Chain A
Amino acid sequence: MPTGGVAHSGLMTETQPTPQPAAPARRSLSPRARWAVPAVAAVAVGAAVMGPPLFASAGDDGLPPVTPEELVAKVVEKDAPALSGTVVYTARLGLPSIPFGPGGASADPVNLMSGSSTLRLWSDGEQRSRVALLGAASEYSVVHDGDEAWTYSSDDDEVVHYTVDPADAATLEKLATEGPAVKGDLPTPQDAAEQALAHAQELSTVSVDGQTTVAGRDAYQLVVTPKSTTTLVGRVVVAVDATEWTPLRVQVWSASDDTEPALEVGFTDVSFATPSDSVLTFSPPAGAQVREVVVPLPTEAEIAAAEQEHTDGALPQGVTVHGEGWDTVVELSGVDVTGALAGDPKALAELEEHEPTIGSDSAQALLEDFGGDPSDKADMGEIDPSALLDSIAKPVPGGRVVTSDLFSVLLTDDGRVLVGAVSPETLQGLA
């Protein structure tokens, strides 16, 4: 630094050292204020996301009290209403993850085994309905239209047309069911509730829990608790719409896990209006393969016999039923275990769907499924059946067992299959 020479009189002595920083003339937020804008945006977004559920869960005590008996009666008596809506089906069965290969996000009923699935439901409350399982870019639809039914899978562009033999049309009329039974049918809250409440009074304790909101609608909660202590099912909670008296949500809780329902099927969005005709009818697209299936209907005599069966316990050959109600165990004999698994994993989906009231009807369906339909083998892709078996069934003395939070399956080495909502040990005991 040179010294001297240049005048020393500093600037600071003559000019005020700190002029006002120029005040914001018009607009201009300070830098800090500017960074507050994204913060506010983030908070607003967060509020928009978190807000509605917070509000929805508040203040749901406005419904008049109802007794469990009244509620069950209302639900059972109430005719199915016309409605349309979106249903989310979630299974947390605690099954080992099943390597079904690619297409995890595609619309295949197999995917109902685990995780979450979205279905869309339209019904006129009578004999016409459509249920569609939605994949990311695919769809599996089941359309019931009077005495015929269709399934359509967008993945393989395959149509299956179920019809009733014309001779049986009169019987169908009399049965007044939803028409022909469809393989690979999809779960709805109504079906699940129907099954849960079927024998509710005899085998379970029924109570009314607090009120709740499902799909933005007020609902009562009906809790069905098995009287049995050996079943894996802890309780079934049915949320019933407070004005339409139709089930909006069914949760099946495992006895072993009280944090989340093991199985849940419920509306996320529902509207009680008759859907348009276009969704309740189906005509196969040009160029699609249509597989015709004629569903034989039982004659009146057979129906009578079937009703008799219910009480007598007479079953098709090879099927034995142990226990009753929640503890029912179905035993199938003479099954090629590996082949069955390879043949149709949908069988397990069926199982789970009918699980709470597994009975002779379910057993029949199960038998058909385990019998296997050769065409379904394509669904398995390149998966080695024995590897699959290894991955989900762990060996026990005398066979292999599949365990989940809600049901167990025992595959014995001598070719029997035992299925029930009980512990694997119970199954082993029965075997």
Chain B
Amino acid sequence: MATVGGVAGSIPVTPQSTALRKPPWHRRAANSIRRNEESGWRTVAWVAVLLPLAALVFAITVLAFKAWPAIKLNGWYFFYGRTWTDGAGAYATPVTTNGVHHLQGARFGAWAIIWGTVVSSVIAIIIAVPLSLGAAFALTERMPTWISRPLGFAIEILAGNPSVVIGLWGFLTFGPWLASNIYGPIANNMPDVPVLRYFGNPHGTGEGLLTAGIVLALMIVPIIASTTRDLFSQVPPLPKEGASALGMTDWEVASKVTLPWVRSGIIGATVLGLGRALGETIAVVMVGGAILTIPHTIYLPMTTVAATILTQLDGALADGTGFYVATLAELALVLAVISVAVNLVARLIVNRTGRVGAPVGGA
């Protein structure tokens, strides 16, 4: 064993070994850095990972502090009230109720805002989920990779488009086109019966609830579709091939094998898309009209929580008592709580089943 390629002979074994001599200072410094490199990484990483947590706590604390007067004074009326007025005007006088300064006559009921937020997001989900599922099926089950990969990338580019650009296109091109070519014919032929009346005339100019829902759907399709596509490609081929061998048609394989296999993942992706739709601001402001009413038909202007915060903050600063700004903080807090809850539910479901597709681009 001592004669392994003569290597042993090449090591000089001398009494005054270099190991005993003290290495020069720069070598010692380098060694020390190298030995302590890991603890350096650890410290910096530890600080960095605490920062998102700190930001989260900070944001919620700021919102809660800012919103506290509004929460105290608006009470439950905030959630069901239909009047939204800051009391400003020629005779606006600051008064104090329960220790909160506000303008006399200020009354904030956000029912219309919350209604608009929920309904537009639900419309978006109703449109986006079937489209995403169908497209993901077409991409994974029917096409060779050299077609499906560029197509998948094209869908992801849709997600990467800045929402302000989507809003611009929705306001100038898509909304008016929808109003004259889709809404018009539908509204004119809608019978005047209780539920369907909501889809009847007037059908507006293309700026409103349904347009906002459709544009939101376009924005969340990439999230749901990319996640669903990843999930479909993770379904092992054997069950599917077995089902085919038993004589099932494509539709039966899809509905009885593939979909049940990934059901909870799809639910998770849907909830994630819902979270994005609830919080979307700019596109909704541009295509939804941002008018504080519950629309009489599905085509007319509306507003959402996020859109209200954006459009009202400027004017709210004019309220010298600060009560309007506090109320907007309460709105922001409500939106934050809802989207945190929605996201937590989605993550719980998705983490149990698989990974989430990237919201933009996608690896």
Chain B binds chain A = no
* Interface, chain B (partner A; CB < 8 A): none
